[in-house]
């Protein structure tokens, strides 16, 4: 520039350690794999409604997340589109498709979301507000994981706990090279669309695309003809083993020609409970509710006359032996046990045992 001043793009480039000479020639969108784009686009289109429902529940307003559009970008092309200050939420996939994954929201948009969730106008983006934005990201990624699990039958998909930070756009930790970026329109109930970006590492999107393409191919192979062949093959196999057609066992006696050593135990599927996005949203509503936590050294019972006779120096014997773990109660209900420790001249308690659900139920009876 003629006056010697740096442009915002050049400042961003210096902060992020990239060559500012490359900024002018960067394309708005880089080329990417079309198949990968298509399967990711379908996944996002299918999950947007559930994500909108979760956001509406958390904010108490009609919030809509719509129009996801995937572009392949590098750091320069994305940073150029972002507002100067953003809230970046790292939500990396830890298993299933491990790698980089994050959400980026403009500072003003993040403040509006936090204000709606906390029912407070003009909220500051302090630690509590950023934790709310982290919970928003948790709901969004949780809905995606549910959809991915259903589509790929991969029950190992998980992400780290989202962590939100309010930073200049040049300091956002983005994946290297070319990566897919999803741009959403976010309607906070006022009819005005704001932007939300979601970024996947290239290895993450490639793995997801391959898994989704593989699931689609496997489903296409299950033709009606193959379905009709399976009963016939099973019947032929039964006849070969001496079982009459119709699948009925001969009276009185086991299956001929098969020894007991070949009998195998039935393997049942793992009946893991899948938490739905609606259940996750309901849990999110009470995340900031305060509860009273008490550490109880022990108990005893005394007559009124004994209590009235207490004075300085009276020793009260409790029902706990020296060295026994203390009880940790939440709202007067036992949830854990621990040992007393001293931290910087203050008492603390180290949790040594979580009480089982059965013990908790017995304590409530």
- Given a cut of 70, whether residue 10 has pLDDT beyond it is no
Task: Give the whole-angstrom CA distance, residue 297 versus residue 10.
Answer: 62
- Given a cut of 90, whether residue 319 has pLDDT beyond it is no
- Given a cut of 60, whether residue 51 has pLDDT beyond it is yes
Task: Give the whole-angstrom CA distance, residue 76 versus residue 181.
Answer: 12
- Given a cut of 50, whether residue 221 has pLDDT beyond it is yes
User: Angle of helix 34-59 relative to helix 277-284, nearest 10 degrees?
Assistant: 40
**260 — pLDDT class (breaks 50, 70, 90):** very low
Q: What is the pLDDT of residue 57?
A: 87
Q: What is the pLDDT of residue 48?
A: 92
Contact indicator for 194, 107 with CB cutoff of 8 Å: no
Which tokens belong to 138?
A: 């948790």
Regarding predicted confidence, which is higher, 215 or 81?
81
Segments in 100-190 forming alpha helices (H): 107-118, 127-152
Regarding predicted confidence, which is higher, 357 or 108?
108
Contact indicator for 24, 35 with CB cutoff of 8 Å: no
Shared fold status for 8-213 and 291-364: no
Question: What does pLDDT average to over the chain?
Answer: 78
Please state which of the ranges 186-195, 276-285, 306-315 shows the lowest mean pLDDT. Answer: 276-285
The domain spans of the chain are 8-213, 291-364
Class of domain 8-213: alpha beta
Q: Tell which residue, 274, 317, 272, 275, has the closest CA to residue 298.
A: 317
- Given a cut of 50, whether residue 257 has pLDDT beyond it is no
For tokens 């930070």, the residue is 165
Contact indicator for 280, 55 with CB cutoff of 8 Å: no
Residue 26 CA to chain centroid, in angstroms?
34
- Would you call 232 exposed, middle or buried from its count of C-beta atoms within 10 A (0-12, 13-18, 19+)? exposed
- Given a cut of 50, whether residue 20 has pLDDT beyond it is no
Task: Give the whole-angstrom CA distance, residue 311 versus residue 302.
Answer: 14
Tell me the pLDDT tens digit for each residue of 84-102: 999 999 999 999 999 999 9
Please state which of the ranges 45-49, 108-112, 134-138, 226-230 shows the lowest mean pLDDT. Answer: 226-230
**128 — pLDDT class (breaks 50, 70, 90):** confident
Average pLDDT over residues 151-165: 91
Which tokens belong to 35?
A: 């198949």
Looking at domain 291-364, its CATH superfamily turns out to be SpoA-like (2.30.330.10)
The structure's pTM equals 0.55
**220 — pLDDT class (breaks 50, 70, 90):** low
Q: What is the pLDDT of residue 12?
A: 56
């Amino acid at each position: 520039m003629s006056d010697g001043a740096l442009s915002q793009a050049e400042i961003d480039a210096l902060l992020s350690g990239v060559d500012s000479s490359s900024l002018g020639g960067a394309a708005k969108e880089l080329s990417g794999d079309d198949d990968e784009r298509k399967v990711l686009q379908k996944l996002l289109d299918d999950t947007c409604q559930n994500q909108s429902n979760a956001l509406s529940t958390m904010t108490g307003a009609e919030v809509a997340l719509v129009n996801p559009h995937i572009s392949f970008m590098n750091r320069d092309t994305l940073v150029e589109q972002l507002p100067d200050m953003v809230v970046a939420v790292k939500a990396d996939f830890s298993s299933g498709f491990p790698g980089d994954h994050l959400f980026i929201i403009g500072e003003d948009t993040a403040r509006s979301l936090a204000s709606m969730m906390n029912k407070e106008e003009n909220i500051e983006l302090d630690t509590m507000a950023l934790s709310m934005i982290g919970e928003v990201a948790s709901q969004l990624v949780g809905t995606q994981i549910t959809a991915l699990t259903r589509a790929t039958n991969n029950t190992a998909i998980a992400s780290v706990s989202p962590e939100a930070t309010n930073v200049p756009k040049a300091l956002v930790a983005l994946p290297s090279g070319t990566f897919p970026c999803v741009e959403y329109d976010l309607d906070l109930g006022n009819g005005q669309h704001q932007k939300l970006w979601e970024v996947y590492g290239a290895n993450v999107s490639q793995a997801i695309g391959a898994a989704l393409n593989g699931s689609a191919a496997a489903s296409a192979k299950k033709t009606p003809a193959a379905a009709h062949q399976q009963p016939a093959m099973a019947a032929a196999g039964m006849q070969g083993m001496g079982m009459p057609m119709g699948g009925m066992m001969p009276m009185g006696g086991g299956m001929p020609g098969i020894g007991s050593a070949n009998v195998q135990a039935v393997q049942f599927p793992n009946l893991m409970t899948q938490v739905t996005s609606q259940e996750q949203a309901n849990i999110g509503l009470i995340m900031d509710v305060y509860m009273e936590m008490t550490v109880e050294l022990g108990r005893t019972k005394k007559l009124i006359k004994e209590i009235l006779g207490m004075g300085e120096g009276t020793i009260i014997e409790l029902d706990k032996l020296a060295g026994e773990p203390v009880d940790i109660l939440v709202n007067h209900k036992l949830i854990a046990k621990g040992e007393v420790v001293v931290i910087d001249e203050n008492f603390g308690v180290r949790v040594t045992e979580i009480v089982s659900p059965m013990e908790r139920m017995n304590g409530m009876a």
